[in-house]
A and B are shown apart, each in its own frame.
Chain A
């Protein structure tokens, strides 16, 4: 271990990563970014700002939208007619210029979303997708055997319920509006939102009283 006599720091000496050189792709990213900034194609502040933007987009936003739709039928109606403008009513901007179609789960229809070709995902309202959504097993099988895939998430859809799989390819993104669980009549909007998980808005699990947003 090197001697730390020339500067102060409060991290423990066991942090090996501090003296491990950034990886090949990490350096590539830095090199490309620095070159483009030197060439004045954009400013360093724009990258920093975009990182802050990305950090601010989490499933909590989607949960707000769903909870509002559950308690306000007129909002729900507007949401189903135009997902993007309804989200914008709640201050959720669509920085990536996509549109949003909200898919309502009912007693008769269960929706789930996938992007077989890449990783299209409603990022403005849910943040960044989990790895499993972007990897081969989910992308290849959600469109061939959605019910088996749902079972792997612990979700069993009866045969009399229609399963609809939406595969994103262009500028529309999808958000599933899950069914409101029974026993929540007395819940306020905040309490409802705390129940609604990212995976419920992808459509792979339902919203239940047992799982909150701490258990994705």
Chain B
């Protein structure tokens, strides 16, 4: 980055959620909470541990809010997350490398050591 572009960027404040919290390769856990009424994280993945594969751009509205007509306001990132099949299903039949990939909204993830 050239010096003039750098100096333009210093002191810049970003909107909440504008910068991704997670990056590719981060070990994450899909949170375990039980919303009723509407959700987009299937029960079979709650509490499962995986890795961030891709940060999906651009930031977007939470689709769980969008379901109730709230399609404006704060935006965060979705992440394409990889979860080993063996992590989800104790009796999984297949290769140990087989994986499940799913988009998850930032508010459903936490970073874990790994």
CB distance from A148 to the nearest CB of B (A): 7
Q: With A145-B94, A146-B98, A169-B40 given, can you name 13 additional A-B contacts, CB distance below 8 Å?
A: A99-B56, A101-B54, A117-B40, A147-B93, A147-B98, A163-B98, A164-B99, A166-B101, A169-B63, A170-B40, A170-B105, A171-B63, A172-B56
Residue of B nearest to A148 (CB): B93
Residues of B within 8 A of A170 (CB): 40, 56, 60, 63, 78, 103, 105
A-to-B contact residues, CB < 8 Å = 99, 101, 116-117, 143-148, 159-172
**B31 on interface, CB distance cutoff 8 Å:** no
**B contacts with A, residue count (CB < 8 A):** 26
Residues on B with C-beta less than 8 A from A168 are 103
**Chain A residues, Cβ within 8 Å of B97:** 162
Q: How many A-B residue pairs have CB under 8 A?
A: 75
Please list 16 pairs of residues, one from A and one from B, whose beta carbons are closer than 8 Å in the complex, sorted by A's number: A99-B56, A101-B54, A143-B88, A146-B94, A148-B93, A159-B95, A160-B95, A161-B95, A163-B85, A163-B99, A164-B98, A164-B99, A164-B101, A167-B42, A169-B40, A172-B56
Residues 58-114 (chain B) with a chain A CB within 8 angstroms: 60, 63, 78, 80, 85, 88-89, 92-95, 97-105
| Given A101-B80, A116-B42, A144-B89, A172:B103 Cβ within 8 A | yes
* A146: B residues at CB distance < 8 A: 85, 94, 98
How far apart are A108's CB and chain B's nearest CB, in angstroms?
9
Q: Among B80, B88, B92, B99, point to the contact of A172 (Cβ < 8 A).
A: B80
List the A residue with the shortest CB-CB distance to B82.
A164
The reply to whether A167 and B100 contact each other, CB–CB distance below 8 Å, is: yes
Instruction: Let me know if B44 and A143 touch, CB within 8 A.
Output: yes
User: Is the beta-carbon distance between A143 and B41 smaller than 8 angstroms?
Assistant: no
**Inter-chain contacts of A163 with B (CB < 8 A):** 85, 94-95, 98-99
A58–B54 Cα gap in the complex (Å)?
Answer: 29
